[in-house]
Amino acid sequence: MDPATGQPRDTWGSKAAFILAAAGSAIGLGNIWGFPTVAGQNGGAAFLLIYLAAVAFIGAPVMLAELIVGRKTGLNPVGAFKALAPRTAWVFVGGLGVLTGLAILSFYSVIAGWTLSYIFKSAIGTFGPEADTAAIFAEVAGNPIRAIGWHFAFMALTIYVVLGGVRDGIERWTKVLMPVLFVLLAALAVRAVTLSGAAEGLEFYFKPDFSKVNGSVVLAAIGQAFFSLSLGMGAMITYGSYVSKRDDLVSSAAWVTAFDTSIAILAGLIIFPTLFHAGLEPGVGGPGMVFVVLTSLLSSIPPAPWGGIVFGTGFFMLLGIAALTSSVSLLEVPTSWAVDERGWSRKRAALLLGAIAFLLGIPSALANGAVPWLTSLPGVGTDFLSFLFTLFGQYSLVIGALLISLFVGWVWGVQAAGEEVRENDGKFPLGRLWAFLIRFICPIAIMAILLNLVWGLFGA
Ligand code: TRP
């Protein structure tokens, strides 16, 4: 029941609609902007292999665990923990998720705002062959009024979709747009791998050099897997809460994971050949890298200048849309919390929480050149946006996922979780493997990584 309207809680229209919406949440800037950046910084191919292992053995089981908790309780993360473990501290895991959602949304919207501005820049042919794409990026991200303005515009779009609710808002948008994104990315990948110098990029991406692997590379891979799959803060608990008891959770989790991972791999296939073609180093250039590199690839598509204009505009529109279907899930978590737990109307919740995320995002919008001390935080060394990303987009998600796997594996229990999975047809394919992964592999791997990190911090 929705306490504000007295209506029954919304559900997805079909299993396919749910898979697309969850894939829409997962697929976003994390895949196209984040994955190639992190992979580039961590050695390319070796990172890719560790990432795939992290997705299969840690990400996928946590995804299923979140969906199970969501469908079982039919509630937001705070409500879900309250329902399954009344009067315990577990509710704080849900609370941390709600907070983390707002924090991630705040800087996510800033980056997505750059994407919006690039739609218009591409359309008017800004990225011709002579354009200095690095200078253009510096101008877009470094101008305070523009950066805040586009951040505002993107947040307004996010609020608009969330106001529409689950079926008429989120579902309606993702169903059409995700397939188009896939086709366009595939076309760009074909273009990228046929560039001169592409072979070097492919070698970097597919030929592992394990001497580059250490604890922080593994942490980066696991962190990237959680961020990319939208795990660790209850987004999949929330989306799972709108799944009908007739639908199958195991295959849904598998589809979402597979879609998300293929898009990330595809993005690498676009970025690395292009980087090497342009004679640039992977892993340098920070948050602007993808914007700088992609625009030069896009603008090289013949016939000049129309190929560049058409593909550039199309690409940034789709990237903006991919970001929108993700940011919507970030706002949906605190919104569903306010609706379920505080009795707010959806309208009030989405507007107020979206406004908070907008305000929180302002320092991030000023952190790429507009304000010097935010661009290079004293004592931290990185910019404010990257700092928030590390704190909430990495640590908070990793800790959240650890607690979720401990909760489902040991507290609420794999037995009870299994019963929820079997609700639809009595079956739980790979149920034993999942139970083993969620009880042992996920918590141990995550804890080992956290310890390794603390160890490193104190130089012991
Ligand atoms: N997964 C999205 C991306 O790759 C971002 C995102 C949306 C997210 N919802 C989330 C990340 C929840 C962590 C948690 O761009």
Determine the structural domain holding residue 118 and report its residue range: 15-364+390-457
Check which CATH number belongs to the domain holding 166 and give it: 1.10.4160
In this prediction, residue 287 carries a pLDDT of 67
Rounded Cα gap, residues 160 and 155, in angstroms: 9
Query: Is residue 111 one of the residues assigned to a domain?
Result: yes
Instruction: Answer whether residue 118 is part of any domain.
Output: yes
- Tell me whether residue 379 is in a domain: no
**237 Cβ closer than 6 Å to some ligand 1 atom:** no
For residue 316, give every residue at least 6 positions away whose Cβ sits within 8 Å of its Cβ, in sequence order, or none. 115, 116, 118, 119, 122
Residue 330, ligand 1, Cβ within 6 A: yes
* Cβ of residue 322 lying under 6 Å from some atom of ligand 1: no
Percent of the chain scored above 90 by pLDDT? 67
Rounded to the nearest whole angstrom, what is the distance from the C-alpha of residue 330 to the centroid of ligand 1?
7
**Res 187 pLDDT > 70:** yes
Quick: pLDDT tens for 10-31: 788 889 889 988 999 999 999 9
Q: What is the pLDDT of residue 290?
A: 78
Q: Which of 205-209, 293-297, 315-319 has the lowest mean pLDDT?
A: 293-297
Average pLDDT over residues 94-122: 97
**234-266, pLDDT tens digit by residue?**
999 999 999 999 999 999 999 999 999 999 999
State which ligand 1 atom lies nearest to the alpha carbon of 327: 7
Ligand 1 geometric centre to CA of 372 (Å): 28
Mutate to test the pocket of ligand 1, among 233, 326, 390, 399 (most ligand atoms within 8 A of CB): 326
pTM value is 0.94
Which of the pair, 360 or 182, is modelled with greater confidence? 360
Q: Is residue 133 included in any domain, yes or no?
A: yes
By C-alpha distance, which of 290, 282, 453, 287 is closest to 383? 287
Specify the residue with its C-alpha closest to ligand 1, atom 10: 230
398 lines ligand 1 (CB under 6 A): no
Quick one: how far is CA 358 from the chain centroid?
A: 18
Ligand 1, pocket-test mutation among 174, 318, 328, 330, most atoms within 8 A of CB:
330
Q: How far is the CA of 90 from the centre of ligand 1 (A)?
A: 22
Indicate the burial class of 105 (C-beta count within 10 angstroms; 0-12, 13-18, 19 or more).
Answer: buried
9 is a domain residue? no
Is it the case that residue 6 has pLDDT exceeding 60? no
Question: Does the pLDDT at position 86 exceed 70?
Answer: yes
What's the pLDDT score for residue 460? Answer: 46
Residue 66 lies in a domain: yes
Query: So what's the pLDDT on residue 285?
Result: 60
* Cβ of residue 28 lying under 6 Å from some atom of ligand 1: yes
* 319-342: pLDDT as tens digits: 998 999 999 999 999 999 999 999
Q: Above 80 in pLDDT, residue 459?
A: no
Report the alpha-carbon distance of residue 402 to residue 226 in Å, rounded. 11
| Distances from the Cα of 339 to the Cα of 54, 87, 324, 351, 377, angstroms | 34, 20, 21, 12, 37
Per-residue model confidence as pLDDT tens digits over 35-44: 998 999 898 9
3 pLDDT higher than 80: no
* Residue that has been written with the tokens 């996510």 in this structure: 108
Residue 375 lies in a domain: no
pLDDT digits (tens, 9 = 90+) for 165-179: 777 767 777 777 788
* Residue 5: pLDDT band with limits 50, 70, 90: low
Rounded to the nearest whole angstrom, what is the distance from the C-alpha of residue 47 to the centroid of ligand 1?
20
- HSE-up of residue 3 (Cα within 13 Å, Cβ side): 11
- Round to whole Å and give the CA distance between 27 and 23: 6
Q: Is 25 in the pocket of ligand 1 (CB under 6 A)?
A: yes
Q: Whose CA is nearest to atom 12 of ligand 1?
A: 230
Nearest CA to ligand 1 atom 13: 230
Question: Which numbered atom of ligand 1 lies nearest the CA of 229?
Answer: 1
84 lines ligand 1 (CB under 6 A): no
Q: Which of 130-134, 195-199, 334-338, 436-440 has the lowest mean pLDDT?
A: 130-134
What total of structural domains would you count in the chain? 1
Other beta carbons within 10 Å of 86: 9
Residue reference for tokens 């079997």: 422
* 384 and 374 Cβ atoms separated by less than 8 Å: yes
**Measured CA angle at 350 (ends 154, 111), to 5 deg:** 25
30 domain residue, yes or no: yes
Q: Which of 112-116, 215-219, 245-249 has the lowest mean pLDDT?
A: 215-219
Residue 397 Cβ contacting ligand 1 at under 6 Å: yes
Q: How far is the CA of 26 from the centre of ligand 1 (A)?
A: 5
Atom of ligand 1 nearest to the CA of 31: 4
Helices 77-84 and 91-123, packing angle to 10 deg? 160
